[in-house]
């Protein structure tokens, strides 16, 4: 196993890829990080994936991690483009046995990518969201009744002040994100993790067109991972979204943990079941 970083053109700028290379013939996972993060925050998990014989390509999204930060008004669509370009890199440098694995916000991206990109052989998504469900507002700090109001405010903000930076604490309850202080401190002490998002990105996320997830566009197996006690993406909400996903086969895997950051705070619990499903589908 070897590690390297490469830069590729994606959209208007260059993005970085973190690559754990285990052999050209082995299956490849394209890893999509969570809100404001980059692959290095999940290095323990990704290194263990690679040690099990899986090629791993971690995506540094536009404006994130080690990628160019010249673009200030990036969107959910830019991240989908980053994902597609990482898949192209995987095809050229490894093979066609490509799966996409995302966590939290990256999980939302993973299923969205699977609805658009037929090169994906399997999608492994920790957390999912359908923006059209009013219950989606429950992921944020805001109450259910504010769903339309918050979307309206974000729309105005995206139009008038698109690059206005909003701190993560403004719209996410960090007590629901981090179960352990050590992981919260590790996140905020790392200068490569963002701490704010432009309002235009948040609006693009909560208005993303994910109809392909529910209309049969996904032509590969879908595995959804969830935490039984996740306080950010509740299990009830995850089940509601899972029921609407149209894919064959699909599977919901629920872990007996309270952690939201399951690939960090519950790694020993989740690792083997995750690897087993990757190996069975790729």
Q: pLDDT tens across 94-114, in order?
A: 999 999 999 999 999 999 999
Find the range with the poorest average confidence among 135-139, 151-155, 216-220. 151-155
Report yes or no on 117 lying in a domain: yes
Task: Report the alpha-carbon distance of residue 130 to residue 108 in Å, rounded.
Answer: 8
> β-strands 2-10, 13-21: how paired?
antiparallel
| HSE of 42, CA atoms in CB hemisphere, 13 A | 33
CATH number of the domain residue 64 falls in: 3.40.50.1820
| Helix and strand totals (H; E) in the chain | 11, 10
Report yes or no on 179 lying in a domain: no
Q: Is the peptide bond before 250 cis (omega within 30 degrees of 0)?
A: no
Which residue is listed with tokens 């995302």? 102
Report yes or no on 147 lying in a domain: no
Interior angle at CA 253, CA 79 and CA 29, nearest 5 = 40
> What share of the chain in percent tops pLDDT 90?
93
Which residue is listed with tokens 């969570």? 34
pLDDT category at 157 given cuts 50, 70, 90 is: confident
Per-residue confidence (pLDDT) for residue 225, from 0 to 100: 98
Nearest residue to 98 via CA among 43, 26, 2, 202? 26
Report yes or no on 53 lying in a domain: yes
Work out the burial of residue 181: count CB atoms within 10 Å of its CB; fewer than 13 is exposed, 13-18 middle, 19 or more buried. Answer: exposed
β-strand partners of 251: 223
With b for 16 or more beta-carbon neighbours within 10 A and e for fewer, the 99-115 pattern comes to bbbbbbbbbbbbbbbbb
Q: What is the pLDDT of residues 64-76, one digit of tens each?
A: 999 999 999 999 9
Q: CB of 111 within 8 A of CB of 132?
A: no
Per-residue confidence (pLDDT) for residue 1, from 0 to 100: 82
Report yes or no on 140 lying in a domain: no
Mean of pLDDT over the chain: 96
Which residue is listed with tokens 């994130």? 64
Report yes or no on 93 lying in a domain: yes
Report yes or no on 266 lying in a domain: yes
Q: Which domain holds residue 265?
A: 2-131+209-281
Report yes or no on 159 lying in a domain: no
What is the number of domains present in the chain? 1
């Amino acid at each position: 196993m070897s590690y390297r970083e490469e830069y590729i053109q994606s959209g208007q700028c260059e993005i970085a890829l973190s690559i754990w290379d285990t052999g050209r013939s082995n299956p490849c996972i394209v890893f999509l990080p969570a809100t404001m993060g980059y692959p290095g925050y999940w290095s323990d998990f990704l290194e263990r994936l690679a040690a099990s014989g899986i090629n791993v390509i971690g995506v540094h999204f536009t404006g994130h991690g080690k990628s160019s930060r010249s673009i200030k008004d990036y969107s959910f669509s830019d991240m989908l483009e980053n994902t597609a370009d990482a898949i192209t890199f995987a095809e050229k440098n490894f093979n066609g046995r490509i799966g996409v694995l995302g966590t939290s916000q990256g999980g939302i991206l993973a299923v969205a990518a699977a609805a658009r990109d037929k090169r994906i052989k399997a999608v492994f998504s920790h957390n999912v969201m359908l923006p059209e469900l009013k219950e989606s507002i429950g992921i944020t700090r805001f109450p259910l009744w504010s769903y339309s109001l918050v979307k309206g405010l974000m729309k105005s903000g995206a139009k008038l002040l698109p690059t206005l930076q909003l701190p993560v604490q403004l719209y996410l309850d960090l007590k629901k994100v981090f179960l352990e202080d050590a992981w919260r401190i590790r996140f905020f002490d790392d200068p490569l993790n963002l701490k704010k998002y432009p309002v235009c990105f948040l609006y693009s996320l909560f208005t993303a067109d994910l109809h392909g997830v529910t209309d049969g566009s996904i032509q590969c197996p879908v595995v959804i991972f969830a935490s039984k006690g996740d306080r950010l993406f509740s299990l009830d909400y995850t089940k509601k979204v899972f029921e609407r996903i149209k894919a064959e086969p699909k599977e919901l895997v629920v872990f007996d943990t309270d952690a939201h950051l399951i690939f960090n705070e519950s790694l020993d619990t989740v690792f083997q079941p995750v690897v087993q499903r990757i190996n069975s589908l790729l």
